[in-house]
Amino acid sequence: MTSPPLQASAQAQPNIALVKYWGKRDDVLNLPAAGSLSITLDALHTRTSVRFDPALERDDIALNGRRDDAHGRRVGAFLDLFRARAGIAMRARVASDNDFPTGAGLASSAAGFAALAVAADRALDLRMPARQLSVLARRGSGSAARSIFGGFVEMHAGVRDDGEDAHAAPLLAAREWPLKVVIAITTRAPKSTGSRAGMELSRRSSPFYRDWIAAVAGDLATARAAVRARDFGKLAAVSEASCLSMHAVMLSTRPGLIYWNGATVECLHRVRALREHEGTGVFFTVDAGPQVKAVCLPEHAARVADALRGVAGVEEVLVSGLGEGAQVTGSAAVAA
Ligand code: DP6
């Protein structure tokens, strides 16, 4: 039996939910209250390396070269899941770098935990199937379960108390419907209330929370059918409805969660005008931050990017295609 390499690196891409996840049925196992549906991007990357080392007294976690106690504890608890499976207690050094703004509503935690799950699995030679990696990635961040896979992905809420059936699964490969996503960055400042705290506040205080959760199954069925039929108009309608319903829950939380700024709202109007008056195949979605993601037909991406660049307050526009799931990029043993 060969010993595990103890070190590996992996890359993952953020995903953008079209049918949104906002609420949990269990916050210890991080189980979503409802399913969700997403697309994995190809233009933004998180690269993560992990090295388990018997000489380390504690985990050493660096995100973009910076160490933060709260983040370190969350990542340490996540690594414990892998240590338990491998039957080891060794601490680890983790370095994770994003080539896009962190914590500003661009799903950095999704790509981060997906990359770390894949890297830790390889470093410890656990060789878990993708579905199991998705279950574990979910423990780090619900949306990370989806970044294990590429293209169009559905997250299943599951019904089991142990969460083993709460995992993502691929729905359609990126190449089978190669849509583009134009991202309008309206600020680089980190968001005020993180998703985790925000969704717990919504569960406790929004009068619309229960109705929101109850409506997700119907939206998921519609979106799933739209993806399978490559029906852009149908996907546009259900995605914008899911996004705006989630933001209605956020706004009706007490105190209200206002993730948008003025430029966010201007971008939404611009996207609607492009579609309704200029015949452009585009729709918007917005997460727990002020950036606007405009999903569009590939032949309309340049027109959408130009239009959003022209909106006052938009600092930068990125254009992404749909990408692959999280992957190991290296696992050769390195000298200590
Ligand atoms: C608004 O996956 O960040 O982006 O499970 O608590 O880590 P935790 O939450 P997270 O929430 C993502 C919320 C969202 C919508 C979505 O991606 O579906």
Same domain, 116 and 237: no
Residues 284-313, mean pLDDT to the nearest whole number: 97
pLDDT at site 108 = 76
Residues 275-285, mean pLDDT to the nearest whole number: 97
Same domain, 105 and 230: no
Same domain, 217 and 77: no
**The token pair that represents 311 in the structure block:** 């909106």
Band of pLDDT at residue 307, cut at 50, 70 and 90: very high
How far, in Å, from the CA of 137 to the mean position of ligand 1? 12
**The token pair that represents 116 in the structure block:** 């770390």
Task: Give nearest CA residue, ligand 1 atom 14.
Answer: 287
Q: Is residue 294 part of a domain?
A: yes
Residue pLDDT, tens place only, 119-131:
999 999 999 999 9
How far, in Å, from the CA of 167 to the mean position of ligand 1? 14
Q: Which domain holds residue 308?
A: 180-320
Q: What is the CATH number of the domain that holds 312?
A: 3.30.70.890
pTM (two decimals): 0.96
* pLDDT greater at residue 8 or residue 191: 8
Give every CB contact of residue 187 below 8 A, 6+ residues apart in sequence. Answer: 104, 261, 263, 290, 315
Total count of domains within the chain = 2
109 Cα nearest atom in ligand 1? 3
pLDDT at site 165 = 98
User: How many residues are there in the chain?
Assistant: 336
Same domain, 27 and 157: yes
Same domain, 81 and 211: no
Q: Is residue 213 part of a domain?
A: yes
How far, in Å, from the CA of 5 to the mean position of ligand 1? 32
Cβ-in-10-Å burial (0-12, 13-18, 19+) of 278 comes to exposed
How far, in Å, from the CA of 144 to the mean position of ligand 1? 8
36 Cα nearest atom in ligand 1? 18
pLDDT above 50 (res 3): yes
Task: Give nearest CA residue, ligand 1 atom 7.
Answer: 141
φ, ψ at 332 (rounded to 5°): -65, 140
Residue pLDDT, tens place only, 40-89:
999 999 999 999 999 999 999 999 999 999 999 999 999 999 999 999 99
C-beta of residue 186 within 8 angstroms of C-beta of residue 315: yes
C-alpha distance from residue 162 to each of 12, 25, 264 (Å):
26, 12, 39
**The token pair that represents 107 in the structure block:** 């799903």
Which residue among 121, 147, 173 closes a domain? Answer: 173
Q: Is residue 229 part of a domain?
A: yes
Same domain, 122 and 202: no
Which residue among 173, 190, 210 closes a domain? Answer: 173
How far, in Å, from the CA of 143 to the mean position of ligand 1? 5
Strand blocks (E) in the chain: 7-12, 15-19, 24-26, 31-32, 36-40, 46-53, 60-63, 91-98, 152-155, 168-172, 180-185, 282-285, 292-296, 316-320, 327-330
DSSP state of 306: H
Q: Which of 16, 19, 21 to mutate to test the pocket of ligand 1 (most atoms within 8 A of CB)?
A: 21
How far, in Å, from the CA of 93 to the mean position of ligand 1? 26
Our CA dihedral for 238, 203, 256, 14, rounded to 10 degrees, sits at -50
Residue pLDDT, tens place only, 212-264:
999 999 999 999 999 999 999 999 999 999 999 999 999 999 999 999 999 99
Q: Is residue 336 part of a domain?
A: no
Same domain, 158 and 196: no
Rounded to the nearest integer, the mean pLDDT of the chain is 95
How far, in Å, from the CA of 57 to the mean position of ligand 1? 32
Q: Is residue 326 part of a domain?
A: no
How far, in Å, from the CA of 18 to the mean position of ligand 1? 12
Residue pLDDT, tens place only, 75-116:
999 999 999 999 999 999 999 999 876 655 676 789 999 999
Same domain, 131 and 205: no
Q: Which of 195, 199, 250, 264 to mutate to test the pocket of ligand 1 (most atoms within 8 A of CB)?
A: 195
**Interatomic CA distance for residues 94 and 92, integer angstroms:** 6
pLDDT at site 177 = 98
C-beta of residue 319 within 8 angstroms of C-beta of residue 272: no
Which residue among 148, 173, 198 closes a domain? Answer: 173
Same domain, 116 and 197: no
Q: Is residue 333 part of a domain?
A: no
Same domain, 108 and 231: no
φ, ψ at 330 (rounded to 5°): -175, 150
- Within 10 angstroms of residue 72's Cβ, the number of other Cβ atoms is 17
Same domain, 36 and 168: yes
- Within 10 angstroms of residue 87's Cβ, the number of other Cβ atoms is 7
**Interatomic CA distance for residues 303 and 125, integer angstroms:** 46
**Ligand 1 binding site (Cβ under 6 Å of any ligand atom):** 17, 20-22, 30, 36, 109, 141-143, 195-196, 287-288
pLDDT above 50 (res 30): yes
16 Cα nearest atom in ligand 1? 17
Q: Is residue 54 part of a domain?
A: yes
Band of pLDDT at residue 316, cut at 50, 70 and 90: very high
Give every CB contact of residue 273 below 8 A, 6+ residues apart in sequence. Answer: none
288 Cα nearest atom in ligand 1? 1
30 Cα nearest atom in ligand 1? 5
Q: What is the CATH number of the domain that holds 51?
A: 3.30.230.10
Same domain, 16 and 35: yes
Task: Specify the residue for token string 């891409």.
Answer: 13
Q: Is residue 282 part of a domain?
A: yes
DSSP string spanning 107-173?
Answer: -HHHHHHHHHHHHHHHHTT----HHHHHHHHHHH-TTHHHHTS-SEEEE-----TT-TT--EEEEE-
**Interatomic CA distance for residues 205 and 210, integer angstroms:** 11
